[in-house]
C-alpha cells in the first residue's frame, strides 16, 4: 500500500523504477475503472463485501470469541 513503511522502503530505497510502472497502472485503472477513485468507493466496496459474506454464511467471518464466559442460567 502506498504510504506504508514497507512500500516506501521498497519503492524509494530499493527500486525507484517501480514508479514508472505504478503510474502506468494507475492511469490504466483510472481510464478503465474510474469508480475506484471515487470518494465513496470505500463505502461501496465494504457494502459489496458484506453482501458477499452474507451469501457465504459463516464462511469468511471471524470465529466467535471462544474465551467469553458462557451465559449462566440461574435456577
- Total number of domains constituting the chain: 1
Domain hosting residue 9, numbered range: 5-56
Distance CA 49, CA 23 (A): 27
Whether 66 has a pLDDT exceeding 60, the answer reads: no
**Per residue in 21-38, pLDDT tens?**
888 888 888 888 888 778
**Residue 67: inside a domain:** no
pLDDT digits 0-9 by tens, 49-62? 888 888 887 776 66
Q: Is residue 27 in some structural domain?
A: yes
Take residue 26 and report the three cell numbers written for it.
494507475
The fraction of the chain above a pLDDT of 90, given in percent, is 3
**One-letter-per-residue 3-state SS of 39-62:** CCHHHHHHHHHHHHHHHHCCCCCC
Amino acid at each position: 500500500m502506498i504510504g506504508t513503511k514497507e512500500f516506501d522502503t521498497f519503492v524509494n530505497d530499493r527500486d525507484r523504477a517501480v514508479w514508472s510502472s505504478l503510474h502506468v497502472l494507475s492511469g490504466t485503472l483510472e481510464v478503465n475503472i474510474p469508480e475506484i477513485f471515487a470518494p465513496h468507493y470505500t463505502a461501496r466496496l465494504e457494502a459489496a463485501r458484506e453482501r458477499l459474506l452474507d451469501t457465504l454464511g459463516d464462511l469468511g467471518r471471524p470465529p466467535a470469541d471462544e474465551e467469553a464466559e458462557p451465559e449462566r442460567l440461574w435456577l
